[in-house]
Structure 1
Amino acid sequence: MSSQTAAGEPVHVEDREQFEDLTDDGIVLVDYWADWCGPCKMLEPTIDELADEVDDLLVLKVDVDEHQDLAQDAGVRGIPALQFYADGEEAERLVGVQEKDDLLRVVESLR
C-alpha cells in the first residue's frame, strides 16, 4: 500500500496522478460520489467504516463533479459507483447503495 495514505480514513483524490499512484498497489476501493447524491450520503458511513476497519484496504473518494475526467475514464454512468482494484487492475464494480457485508466479501475475494 502506498505510503501516501492515512490509515483509517478515506483519501479524497485531488488529481489523476494521485489516483493512478494510489490504485497501482494492493486492494483499493474507489467511491465515485457527489455532494448532491442522496444514495451517496446513505453509503458514506459504510465506506468510512470499511476504511477504518479493514487494514489492507485503501479507500479513495472521487467527487464526480470535481473530477469528471476520472469518472468518464472509468465509465461511471451512475453514482454511487464503487470500483475495486487489486494490484493496479480493476477487479470488481458495483453501482448503488451496498451492504457492508457484501463489500467485505469482495475485499475477501481479492486477498
Structure 2
Amino acid sequence: MNSFKMLRKLNHSAILKMHRRNIYTEITKVDQYLQKVNSDNLVVAQFGASWCAPCKKLKPIIKKLGEEKENIEFLYIDIDELPELGENEDINELPTVLFRKKGKYLDKIIGMNEQELMKSIEKHQSD
C-alpha cells in the first residue's frame, strides 16, 4: 500500500473514532444527573465513594466502557459529594450501579460484579 492510501485510511479511522458517541461523566450536580437519566440513551450510573475499595475497582471499568460502548451514558456519582442523590435513588450499599432510560428505572446491581454488569448492559442496550 502506498503512503498516500495508508494516510487516507488512517485519517478515515481517526474520523470514525471522533464521531463515536462515547460518554463518561462524573456527576457534580443533581440537575446534571436528572438531565442525563431523562435522556433517550441508556444510562449506566455507578454510585460510589472515595473510601470504598470495590468502588475504586469498578470506576475504571465503567470509565473504559464509556470509551468503548456507543450511545450509552456512563455516569459516576460520589455519594459523599451528592448524598441527596444517593437517598433519592435508594442507594444503601456501595458500589451500586443503576440502569435507567427515559427516566425509567430498569435494573440495579449491588457490589463489584463485572460479569453481571456486562450482561445487564447487553440486555438493556437493545431495549
> Which TM-score applies when normalising by structure 1?
0.86
Please give the alpha-carbon distance, in whole angstroms, between the structure 1 residues aligned to 2:59 and 2:121.
Answer: 17
Correspondent of 1:74 among 84, 89, 92: 89
Answer whether contact 2:22 2:72 (CA < 8 A) is retained. no
Using CA pairs under 8 Å that are at least 6 residues apart, name the structure with larger relative contact order, 1 or 2: 1
2:23 equivalent to 1:23: no
2:53 equivalent to 1:47: no
Please give the alpha-carbon distance, in whole angstroms, between the structure 2 residues aligned to 1:27 and 1:91.
Answer: 9
* Residue type of the alignment partner of 2:59: E
* Residue type of the alignment partner of 1:103: L
Q: What corresponds to 1:83 in structure 2?
A: 98
- State the Cα distance separating 1:102 from its structure 2 match: 2.7
- State the Cα distance separating 1:69 from its structure 2 match: 0.1
Q: What corresponds to 1:3 in structure 2?
A: none
Please give the alpha-carbon distance, in whole angstroms, between the structure 1 residues aligned to 2:22 and 2:49.
Answer: 21
- The within-5 A match list for 1:9-20 is 9-20=23-34
Q: What corresponds to 1:56 in structure 2?
A: 71
Aligned residues, how many?
Answer: 104
| Percent identity over paired residues | 24
> Which TM-score applies when normalising by structure 2?
0.76
Deviation string, structure 1 residues 57-88 (Cα, Å, up to 9, x no partner): 10111110010000001000011010000222
Q: What is the CA RMSD across the aligned residues, in angstroms? A: 1.3
- State the Cα distance separating 1:45 from its structure 2 match: 2.1
- State the Cα distance separating 1:9 from its structure 2 match: 4.9
Q: What corresponds to 1:106 in structure 2?
A: 120
* Residue type of the alignment partner of 1:61: Y
Q: Secondary structure at the match of 1:10?
A: strand
Superposed structure 1 runs of 4+ greater than 4 Å apart: none
Gaps of 5+ in 1: 1-6
Answer whether contact 2:109 2:116 (CA < 8 A) is retained. no
Which structure has the larger Rg over C-alpha atoms? 2
Greater helix percent: which structure? 2
